Every structure is written in C-alpha cells, then in structure tokens.
Amino acid sequence: MPDTIHVALFDDSKAIRDSLGTLLGTTSGIGLCGCFPDAVQVLEKVAACKPDVVLMDIDMPGPLNGNGIDAVRVLHAERPDLPIMMLTVFGDEDRVYDSLRAGAVGYLLKNDDPSSLLEAIQDVHGGGAPMTPSIARKVMLHFQRQGMPKDAPAVILSTREKDVLQALVDGLSYKMIADRLDISFETVRSHIKHVYEKLHVHNSAEAVAKTLKGRLLG
Amino acid sequence: MPDTIHVALFDDSKAIRDSLGTLLGTTSGIGLCGCFPDAVQVLEKVAACKPDVVLMDIDMPGPLNGNGIDAVRVLHAERPDLPIMMLTVFGDEDRVYDSLRAGAVGYLLKNDDPSSLLEAIQDVHGGGAPMTPSIARKVMLHFQRQGMPKDAPAVILSTREKDVLQALVDGLSYKMIADRLDISFETVRSHIKHVYEKLHVHNSAEAVAKTLKGRLLG
DNA sequence: GCATCAATCCCACGTTCGGGGGAGGCTTGC
DNA sequence: GCAAGCCTCCCCCGAACGTGGGATTGATGC
C-alpha cells in the first residue's frame, strides 16, 4: 500500500497515545509506525520507524529542556523534508509559534474531532501547513517584515528625525537626547511624535524594534 | 453599534459585488460601508468609508497594473493595521502568495459558502489570518528560511523574562503584556525590573535595542 | 532541613511618555 | 508668491513607566 501515510507519535501522556494511536492505527490510509512517550534520541527513533509525518507533543518533559520544541529543532535540522506537526491544547499560541520557527509545519489541537486530525495529517503529507487564523497571523507578521529585500526604504525620515531615533536606539531619555543634540526637550518630543507617526508605532520600544529589524538607519 | 464590523468591498465584477454586498449588508454584526468596482485612489476611498476590514479582488483591471495586489501594497503601506483580505478563485495560489507578501493578511474563495466567508471576516477582524494549508506552507517555507545563527546567550534570562522581553520587542504596553501572558500587571513590572537589571538598561528602548543587537531571544 | 531562585503578586512615589493642540522662521519647488 | 516640508519651541494632561521597597509559593539543590 504505497499510499499509506506512516505516522510517528511522540507524547508523554498515555491517554493521548492510546486514543490517538488507536485512531491512527485503525484508519485506512494512515498507519502508526511508532509511538513514544518522550523525544530523547529522536533521530534514532525516527530513523528506526521511518515515518512520513511526525506528531510531536509540544509540552513534553525530558532532558531536552522541558518541551518538544527542541526535539523539533533537532529533527528538522537533520531531516528538513520530514513534516512535523505539533500536538497542543487550546490557547498555547506562543509555543505553537515557537514550534513553527523551530521547523514544524503545522499543528493540531488534542481535542479536535477525529476527522479534523486525519484531514490535517493528510494536508501535511500532501505538502500543506494546517494552522488556525490566529497562528497564521503571527507568522504573517514576521513574514511580511522581511518581505521586501531591497525595495524602497518605505519610510522617509528627515535628518533630525533619524538623529533622535538613533538616540532612542542608544537608550537615551528625551532629556538626554535634547542634551546630545543641543536642542530643547520640546523639540525632541516633536521629532519623536513625527517619527512615531511615520513608523506607525506608539512607544519607543516598538520604534526601536522596527528600526533595527527594518534597517532604517545607517 | 461598536461591535459591527464595517467592510469595504473592491471587485470589478458586478455580479460579485451584488451577491457579496447583499450577503454582507444583511448579516448582523457586519456592515458594508463601501463597495467599489476598482481600486483607483484606494486610499481616498478607504478614508471615506472607514472600514474595519477590506475585501479586495485579486484580479482587478485598472491603472494599477492589472490587479488588486498593487492596491494592497499602497493601502498596507499607509494603513498597516487595516486588515486586507483577498478575494480569489480556486487554484490561484501564486497570486495569493504575492498578495500576502504585499500585505494582505488572508484570503477567501469567491465560491466559498456564505458561513465560511463571514467566519473569515470575523477571523481577520479579530486579528487572525485565514488561509488554506497549502498557502500556509508556502509562507512557512520563507518564514523558516531565514533561520538565525545562534551565538552565545551572554545573559541568562528565565523563561518568563524572555516572554516579557519578547512582548516589549513587539511593542506591547505592560497592560497588554499582562493580558498576553495571562499574569497580573504587577508581575509584568516585576519581570521587567529583573530584565533591566540583568541587561543593565533603564528603559524599554534600550532593552529592545540590546535584545535585537545581541540576539538574546529566539 | 535549609538556602536559592523563579514566578507570582502588592504598594507608593516621582518621573517620563504619548498625543492633542499651536506657532514662527527657514528653505525648496512649482 | 505660496504651498510644503523641516526644524525649532511651547502648553496641557492623562497614561505609562522606572525604582524602591516588600510578600508568598513552589521547585531545585546541597
């Protein structure tokens, strides 16, 4: 049966392993080729059972610092073409996001209904990346941030505006900026107000982040 | 009615405008605030009808080089917080992908059933980014491509301290950080106090700068 | 058992920011 | 000439921040 999708499952919860394992093992078109309570020596385990798709619990205790994300990093580095899907619970978006950065291609909720799970596995095996809109949005933000390689500068700052922005990046307070540039406190505020408008930000931290990530300054 | 989502629709097909417009106009919780056959002067049109969400046909003729993607670019540059969703047909993945690069946050198929459309609009308005697995996978590839070289941490932050620091980099206020991490405002302040001590900084701008320059976070 | 530390929460206090105005002088370009 | 943009300065005012003290719980380590 060449069109059977072989799945390896990593989860420290026996209940999950049992229920998910049974579901996967009894579904036509999908076969459970390995089932593990931890991800130590994940490379060896994967090499042994040769899965097409890996399901990895996002929250697994173990020597790999307490979750499955490091296992994803290791596995993805070694086997970049092997799709990994995270198992998680509702509301754990930050770690899902970290997992995606580590190399996972998607995730599914442990309490999704069976048909969704199977559909997601087929999506992944078929080259897709199932994710919810809110996760997708986080990915999009980072994706678009570097979307423009060498395009227009996008934001045009005046000389003085660049000066105060640089000073912000250097961690100076408004008062210290005024001193460095030898202008009044109010002028500093005025420039910063304009910078915030142009960058579409609302505080110094965001301005600095956008500046450094977008290389707005020399 | 503060909980009504105001939608602006751009599509050159009268049939689509009529059917979609009627659907949106008659759904409670959603209001059609503008409906246009082209995207010329898109900024003015949007400014006039003040939508919460923009629906943009991906394939619209006009002076803006033949599709709605340039309109997205223009609109997103000026109004980065205004979510734009593309209207497309099945199998048009490359242009959907281009749209996402241009700043759209999601897309929907013109022949999706009405409930999916409405759900997607609500997703987008709620900060999500609805997309299909195959589109998501394309995004993921580029997203993971720019894996960063990991240097020495130099400074050891606890898990929670990294969380709040990341939130600072994202431009959030203390209040918003408390909300994101589901902890109290005071706890956020406490964590940030410790982060500042460890990084030897005295404000958020400096902390963000040191973080991004030193690659202290994943 | 005890020390340590991370993580959570609280209070008080002054300082700093952020956003909303406005205004005058200056150069640049149409 | 006049609009537009930049640079400079000023006011008000509320919200947010930074720093100084605490406290409690739980896990970890010796």
Residue B27: which of B104, B140, B93, B120 has the closest Cα?
B120
Task: Say whether A136 and B139 touch across the interface (CB within 8 A).
Answer: yes
Confidence of residue A164 (pLDDT cuts 50, 70, 90): very high
Residue A216, SS3? Answer: coil
**Contact residues, A window 112-151, toward B, CB-based 8 Å cutoff:** 120, 123-124, 126-134, 136-137, 139-140, 142-144, 146-147
Residue A93 burial (10 A CB sphere; 0-12, 13-18, 19+): middle
Asked if residue A101 has pLDDT above 80, the reply is no
Comparing A101-110, A148-157, B160-169, the range with the smallest average pLDDT is A148-157
Structural domains in chain A, sorted by start: 5-145 (3.40.50.2300), 159-214 (1.10.10.10)
How large is the greatest C-alpha to C-alpha distance in chain A, in angstroms? Answer: 77
pLDDT of residue A2 exceeding 50, the answer is: yes
Asked if pLDDT for residue B185 goes beyond 80, the answer is yes
DSSP string, chain B: -TTPEEEEEE-S-HHHHHHHHHHHHTSTTEEEEEEES--TTHHHHHHHH--SEEEEESS--STTTTSSHHHHHHHHHH-TTS-EEEEE-TT-HHHHHHHHHHT--EEEETTS-HHHHHHHHHHHHTT-----HHHHHHHHHHHHHTPPP-----S---HHHHHHHHHHHTT--HHHHHHHHTS-HHHHHHHHHHHHHHHT-SSHHHHHHHHHHHT---
Q: How far is the CA of A146 from the C1' of C18 (A)?
A: 28
Residue at token pair 């754990």 = A92
Contacts of A171 in chain B (CB under 8 A): 201-203, 205-206, 209-210
Q: CA of B190 vs C1' of D26, distance in Å?
A: 18
Copy the structure tokens of residue A2. Answer: 């060449």
Are B205 and B211 in contact by the 8 Å Cβ rule? The answer is: no
- Tens of pLDDT along A44-67? 888 888 899 999 888 776 554 446
Residue with the larger pLDDT of the pair A173 and B126? A173
CB-hemisphere CA count at 13 Å for B37? Answer: 5
